[in-house]
Amino acid sequence: MSKAEAGSLRKIALSTADTLQSYLNDTSDWKVSKKTKDILVEHKHSSVPGNEHGHLYRAHCELKCCKETVHKYMYPVGGPESELRKTWDRDISDIQLLARIDQDLSVNMIRTNSAAMGMIHPREYVDLMFEVRTDNYTSFNAVSIDYEDQPINPKFVRGWNHPSGFFCYDIPGQPGHTNFVLLVQTDIKGSLPRSLVDSAIPGAIAGLCTNLRNMLIKDGHLS
């Protein structure tokens, strides 16, 4: 990859990170999609060009462990560190690193299992992923890109992620507690009815948060 290509991808990554920050700070027009004792999933219409009929989903979940631990369990970049994610995330079948651009920037492919009792076929997503670490939070900021070095596998439907990601925030006054925020804005492609997609995604998001919590409990990070 040339220096110019790497620079162009970094610009996309920085723009994606700015977009996700705006979603975190957005307080208008959210509707509750799913709510449990520990998890809130809300949605609003997407404002991204090309996804006007889709939704942006935002999930909140408080976890009684440090943000670095949550970040480690959510790690989505292909390689040894992502093996932990695959042990508990039931939606993911494979994570592959396609290109390491810099320490904080990479191109990855994630493949998913079928869903909704087989009505949603396995998907694959090729995403640019940008890792951010500050004193107050850690995050991964992701967006799908066209990547000619990874042709579409006919066994999968190639989906498209508009700006999406997750954040692990310290909770002020509560050392060792994390506010986990997940932002999902995906076009799973294919010919599925929009009603089926809209009904499946909130449950899948809540399920991810639940499975993450259960794995943290199993491994002794939560009581």
- Residue ranges and CATH numbers for the domains of the chain are 3-173+182-208 (3.30.530.20)
Contact 183, 166 (CB under 8 A): yes
Pairing of strands 123-133, 157-158: parallel
Which pLDDT value is given to residue 168?
A: 98
Mean pLDDT, 10 residues at a time, over the chain (223 residues)?
A: 88 98 95 95 91 90 96 96 95 96 97 78 95 97 96 93 97 94 93 80 94 97 83
Cα 71 to Cα 67: distance, rounded to the nearest angstrom: 6
End-to-end CA distance of the chain: 46
Number of continuous H segments (helices) and E segments (strands) in the chain: 4, 12
CA 179 to chain CA centroid, Å, is 15
The pTM of this model reads 0.94
Which pLDDT value is given to residue 118?
A: 66
Structure token pair of residue 85: 């994610």
Which pLDDT value is given to residue 163?
A: 98
